[in-house]
Amino acid sequence: MADFGISKDGPPLDHTHVSTAVKGSFGYLDPEYFMRQQLTQSSDVYSFGVVLFEVLCARPVINPTLPRDQINLAEWALKWKRQNLLETIIDSRLYGNYTLESITQFSEIAEKCLADEGRSRPSMGEVLWHLESALQLHQAHLQTATADDLSGREL
C-alpha cells in the first residue's frame, strides 16, 4: 500500500522488509522509506493514516495550488489537529453527521499512523480496533438521535 503500485514481490518469510529505490506517490510515502529505502508494514500504516485524513478532509493528499503550508495534507491536518482545531478542516458535508467523540477517536488513530518513526506507529490490527470503536460511537449517537426524534413526535 505504501507505494500504491510498486512492482515488487513481498519479502521472503524470514525477512521483515523489502529494499527498493524510492518510488511512489508523494504524500503517501513513509518518511523512513526515504532514508532507508525499505518498505515495512509500518510503511503501510503511514500510508493508511494519510488515507484516513483524505477521507476526513475530502481533499487530495498533495495540492500544489494551495499555499506552501497547506500543500501536504498529512502535515496540514496534523497541524490543525494538534491545535485542537480539527473541526475547522473536516469536510463540510460531514457537519451534523458525527460526534466530537467519534471524530476525535478517528483522527487520533490517523495521527498515530503518521508517527515519524515506524516503531511508534500502531499495527493495522490496532488501527482496525480504533476505527471500529469510532464507528460504534457514531452508531450509538445515531441510535440515540433516532430514539430522541421518535420520542418527540406526537402519536
97 grid coordinates: 453527521
Q: What is the pLDDT along the chain (155 residues), one digit of tens a residue?
A: 544 444 445 555 555 655 555 555 789 998 888 788 888 899 999 999 999 999 999 999 999 999 999 999 999 999 999 999 999 999 999 988 888 999 999 999 999 999 999 999 999 999 999 999 999 998 998 888 776 666 665 54
Q: Is residue 10 part of a domain?
A: no
Vertex 127: Cα angle to 125 and 131 (nearest 5)? 120
pTM of this prediction? 0.79
Q: Is residue 2 part of a domain?
A: no
Give the total number of structural domains in the chain. 1
Residues 28 and 76: their CA atoms lie apart, in Å, by 14
Q: Is residue 7 part of a domain?
A: no
Q: Is residue 50 part of a domain?
A: yes
Query: SS3 of 134, please?
Result: helix
Residues 90 and 95: their CA atoms lie apart, in Å, by 8
Residues 12 and 21: their CA atoms lie apart, in Å, by 18
Query: SS3 of 46, please?
Result: helix
Q: What CATH number has the domain bearing residue 83?
A: 1.10.510.10
124 grid coordinates: 493495522
Structural element, H or E, at residue 52:
helix 41-57
Q: Is residue 116 part of a domain?
A: yes
Query: SS3 of 65, please?
Result: coil
Q: Output phi, psi for 64, to 5 deg.
A: -70, -10
Region of 84 (left: φ > 0; alpha: ψ -120 to 50; beta: rest) is left
Domain that holds residue 61: 18-148
